[in-house]
Amino acid sequence: MATEILVVGLSHHTAPVDVRERLSVATESMGAELRTLLDGQAISEGVLLSTCNRVELYAAAPDAVSAAAVARAHLLSKAGADPIDEFLYERWGGEAVEHAFRVASSLDSMVVGEPQILGQVKTAYAAAEGAGGVGTLLGRCFHRAFAVAKRVRTETGIAAGAVSVSSIAIELASKIFDSLEGRRALLVGAGKMSEAAAKSLANHGARLYVVNRSPERAERLAKICGGTACGYEQLVPELVKADVAITSTASPRFVITRELMQDVLRARRGRPLFLIDIAVPRDVDPRVGEMRNVFLYDVDDLQKVAEENLAARKREADAAEQIVRGEAEIFEQWRRSLTLTPTIVALRQRFREVVKAELERTVSKMDGLGTKDRRKLDAMTEAMVNKLLHQPLTQLKANAEGHNAALLIDAARRLFQLEDAVVAPEKEGRKAPAAKRAPEQDAESPSEQDLGGLAAAGPGGEGT
- Is the model's pLDDT at 21 over the cut of 50? yes
- Confidence at 393, pLDDT banded by 50, 70, 90: confident
Residues 175 and 261 in one domain: yes
How confident is residue 17, by pLDDT bands cut at 50, 70 and 90? very high
Q: Which residue range is the domain that position 392 belongs to?
A: 340-464
Query: Of 52, 141, 225, 230, which one is the catalytic site residue?
Result: 52
Closest by Cα among 425, 455, 419 to 440: 425
16 and 139 in a single domain? The answer is yes
Number of structural domains (the chain) is 3
pLDDT digits (tens, 9 = 90+) for 419-451: 655 444 333 333 333 333 333 333 333 333 332
Residue 52 appears among annotated catalytic residues: yes
Same domain, yes or no, for 154 and 301?
no
Same domain as 457, residue 406? yes
Residue 337: pLDDT band (50, 70, 90) is: low
Q: What is the CATH number of the domain that holds 221?
A: 3.40.50.720
Q: How far apart are CA 80 and CA 91, in angstroms?
A: 24
Are residues 293 and 330 located together in one domain of the fold? no
Say if residue 126 is in the same domain as residue 62.
yes
pLDDT by residue (tens digit) across 33-52? 999 999 877 899 999 999 98
13 and 27 assigned to the same domain: yes
pTM, to two decimals: 0.66
Residues 363 and 456 in one domain: yes
Residues 300 and 346 in one domain: no
Q: Is the pLDDT of residue 417 over 90?
A: no
Ramachandran angles phi, psi of 244, nearest 5°: -140, 140
DSSP structural state of residue 284: B
Q: How many CA atoms lie within 13 A of 106 on its CB side?
A: 29
**Domain check: are 302 and 406 in the same one?**
no
Q: C-alpha dihedral over 207, 212, 217, 218, to 10 degrees?
A: 20
Q: Which residues of 415-446 are buried (b: 16+ CB within 10 A; e: fewer)?
A: ebebeebebbebeeebebeeeeeeeeebebbb
Range in 146-155, 294-303, 306-315 the model is least confident about: 306-315
pLDDT at 360: 85
**Which of these three, 299, 334, 369, is where a domain ends?**
334
The reported pLDDT for the residue numbered 39 is: 85
> Are 304 and 324 part of one and the same domain?
no
- DSSP of 337-394: HTSHHHHHHHHHHHHHHHHHHHHHHHHTT-SS--HHHHHHHHHHHHHHHHHHHHHHHH
| Helix or strand (DSSP H, E) at 54 | strand 54-61
Give the residue-averaged pLDDT of 180-200.
Answer: 86
Beta-bridge partners for 208? 185
Domain co-membership, 10 together with 153: yes
- Please give the mean pLDDT across all residues of the chain: 83
Lowest average pLDDT, out of 46-50, 128-132, 285-289, 408-412, goes to 408-412
pLDDT at position 437: 34
Q: Write the CATH number for 126.
A: 3.30.460.30
pLDDT at 2: 67
